Structure 1
Amino acid sequence: MHPKPPHHPRRTRLAKGFAATAVALAALAFAAPASAAPAAEVTPEAIDEYVSDLYEASGVPGLSVVVTRGDEIVHAAGYGHDSNGDEVTADTPFRVASVSKSFTAMAVMVLAEEGAIALDEPVAAQLPEFAMADERAAEITVRQLLNQTSGFSDTTIDIVELDDAASLEDYVSRLADDQLAADPGTSWEYANPNFNVAARLVEVASGQPFEEFMQERVFAPLGMEHSATRDEIVDPALGYNSLFGAWIPREEEPGFLDNSGSGGIITSAADMGQWLISQNGQGTQLVSEEGLAAMHTPTEIQDYGMGWSVESDGTLAHSGNLSTFNAVEWIDPETGYGIAAMTNGAGLTDIAWSTLEGLSALVGGETPPEPGNGRQLFELVLAVLSVAAIALGVIAVVRSRRWAQKRAGRPAWRIGLRLLPALAPVALFLAYPSLVSLISGGRTVTWQGTLYFALPFTVTLFIGALAGAAVVIARLIRLRSVGSAA
């Protein structure tokens, strides 16, 4: 069975918000064509053929994948290039964003089984520096952080302030003036602070910097030689954003990223293979069978374990989305299969997730969907709309004198009504981040954030707003000129 999208990873939810906004405003949708071809045999060659076709159809700069079964890597490879022009291989490091959460959960579980962390005791008792402007914060347990049932929420925590944190210790200190959105343990909400507080707890409980603990106790034992939490250790090339079909290499969006427990992991397809094998209970084990099961068990509140979404068919998945990178991990404990896909290009379509959909169908004996070019089609339509907005704006400005002459002497309210259509795109653009935040379930969306993976949509809205503003200004100037002449 195909896995469902993991529940509310940061960029996945925001992407849905942008997509929903686009549909509502432009009534544009593209359905992936169904495939009638027979299911291919699950061999390295079959996997490579499917991913190669998907890579070519997607147009993404670089893509890396790994498929595991039991204690073996069935196929690990890279496709395309990075921003340095180097060929992507199975060892090319990529940022994996929120896929990091399952790694942070593992670090906590390692220490919990050693008795250094108590999962069901308050965080504040084990991390004295943790405090909030909400007395309920003293009740949050470590398990609730990892299950995302702590009460943390983007709606009550200043996420923008946290983006400037210089360390995990600094990050935790900045929570001091924030509130909870719910009593701990009563509701589920996806929030990055959960795993950054957990990462700081790892530092305090182990007496090591987070990056050192991850290297010595997680990466090294699993043989993950191209993995780290800081780009000073494993330096990935730049990721990309797409603008009307052209991929542009860009620095990652400024903010707290390196060494974070919520999204700082950098790794490769080959290394992810070792991780997936271990997560399926094979190969090297970092914790007990009971500890691994606890991380894969959902709560009664939400089908989310500890850094893993637990699907109805028994599979587990988690996606990761930064401003210029996408990633996803998936395991099927029943069959022993594991899949990870990573891209160095982030656009309105998540190619990593599309890769997972196809590969999970392939290993499940089903026919994968034919690789499509929905991103290119959607961005082409946005480009056409942008050109149309410019053309219509120019025409309206040129005809503004005629417009003013026809309406000279009319009541101001009637003139205002006639200007509303041109003002609509301006109002929409000004409300843009707030609208997407609302559609995305309350996740914080900044203006800066709209200039990355949603760049084509943002540019189209901006051009529409600029054209509308120019038309309104031209018409008002002409009205005043006509009135003065009269």
Structure 2
Amino acid sequence: MRHLLAHTSGLAAADVDEFALPPAPSSAALVAGLRDVPLARDPGTAHEYLNANYVVAARIVETVTGRPFGEHLRAGVLLPLGMTATVATDRCDAAVPGLALGHVGALGVQVPVPEIPAFCAGDGGVVTTAADLTRWLRFQTGDGAPLLTAASLREAHTAAPGTDGRYGLGWSVRDGGDGGIRVLHDGALTTWTSAIELSPTGAGAFVLTDAAGAPSQLAAQLVGAADGAAPQAAPADPLRAVNLVLAGLTVLAGVLLTVAVLRAGRRARALGGRRRVLSLPAVAVAAGVLLLPLGWALVAGPSWTSWLMLLWMLPLGGILAFVLVTGGVVALVARARAGRSALPEVGDRSAAGSAPATRPGPRTPAS
């Protein structure tokens, strides 16, 4: 259990598709699918964050208690802490009364969209309120209901063996200066992000968002302000530079492909019936088809769900792909039509070639 909670179990992301579609119907089914997965390393020797570790831990709880993990969590943890408005679901996309849709967007424009389906029992799926999460934060500082001893809380907040001093039991561990440590945790689905942090002085803060952003930076700044640190500038959008590049490429692609459509006839006349295999529209279509798969494969490996997640997190990438494919196809069709109309019909002759031959007439004597 300690290896699972510290992400030192030996399971590796390269061997486990955490976001497979359709989602696993239960934690039992997901864990059963791990039986033939080899361990990448010996347990306890290296830290690799993997959500599946917590699904396995939740399944152990279900096996020991004989009831679903969410039910045990509510009865054994949430209600004793007074977190009566908090519920635990087994699906990231579960409909919970009062829960609004999350958002995807870029450059200040946000659109509500459904969350991508995924199994979340043990590694997520907890829907809460600011008031209830405040109770959880107080509990973590030792100021709440005594579900754990002070020694157990310290152990959860202390780096576990095999993590290179970076991770405890469910908490990342960082040097807080002055001999103290900061404990924190952040997470993200595709339409929600969150972060929580505790400082060595006992101050704490959490940030919940219904879109992509930088909640961990903001939580750190809030904790720093509580500890008397100098105010800092608000964190910038971490994806702003990427989105600006994608927006610029989208506009450029749209302009070039529009020009290709408008100049299709002129190009066909210039080529005089000749064809070019490699052209801007053809390259645009190929690039649009491969953009999202290659983009995600370079980051985390190919997976249909991963490509969908990339589209949710970087919607401008999807718009760029759409412009490339649609504009490229339209330009190719326009050029094909212009090329057919520019070809001479069979039997036609040029004016010079079709002029009738003439014989010289009889000569007249010079006068």
After TM superposition, the score normalised by the length of structure 2 is 0.78
- 2:257 is aligned to 393
Match of 1:367 among 231, 238, 255: 231
2:51 corresponds in structure 1 to 192
- The alignment-based identity, stated in percent, is 33
Supply the AA of the counterpart residue of 1:439.
V
- Contact 1:226/1:234 (CA < 8 Å) preserved in 2? no
| Aligned residue number for residue 319 of structure 1 | 186
Q: Name the aligned partner's letter for residue 301 of structure 1.
A: T
- Cα distance in 2 for residues equivalent to 1:182 and 1:425: 42
- Alpha-carbon distance between aligned partners in 1 of 2:303 and 2:197, rounded to the nearest angstrom: 24
The residue number in structure 1 matching 2:356 is: none
Residues 59-458 of structure 1: pairs in structure 2 closer than 5 A: 142-161=1-20, 163-230=22-89, 235-242=98-105, 245-257=108-120, 260-298=121-159, 299-302=161-164, 303-313=166-176, 314-332=181-199, 334-344=200-210, 346-347=211-212, 350-364=213-227, 365-370=229-234, 382-383=246-247, 385-408=249-272, 415-417=276-278, 419=279, 423=283, 426-427=286-287, 429-440=289-300, 446-458=306-318
- Runs of 5+ in structure 2 lacking a partner? 347-367
- Contact 1:227/1:267 (8 A) holds in 2: yes
Structure 1 residue matching 2:147: 3-state secondary structure = coil
1:145 partner letter: L
CA distance in 1, matches of 2:230, 2:303: 35
Amino acid at match of 2:184: A
- The higher radius of gyration belongs to 2
Change (3 A) 1:399 1:195: same
Deviation at 1:196, TM superposition (A): 0.7
- Output the amino acid matched with 1:464: L
Report the residue type matching 1:338 in the other structure. Answer: G
Higher RCO structure (Cα 8 Å, ≥6 apart): 1
Scaled by the length of structure 1, the TM-score of the pair is 0.60
Give me the whole-angstrom Cα distance separating, in 1, the residues matched to 2:344 and 2:186: 62
Q: Compute the displacement of 1:151 (Å).
A: 2.5
2-side partners of 1:342 and 1:238: how far apart?
13
Could you say if the C-alpha distance between residues 198 and 376 of structure 1 is closer, same or farther in structure 2, counting changes exceeding 3 Å? same
CA distance in 1, matches of 2:234, 2:16: 42
Could you tell me how far 1:339 is from its partner in structure 2? 0.6
Report the RMSD for the aligned CA atoms in angstroms: 3.2
Check the 8 A contact 1:359/1:368 in 2, yes or no: no
- Is 2:214–2:238's contact at 8 Å kept on the other side of the alignment? no
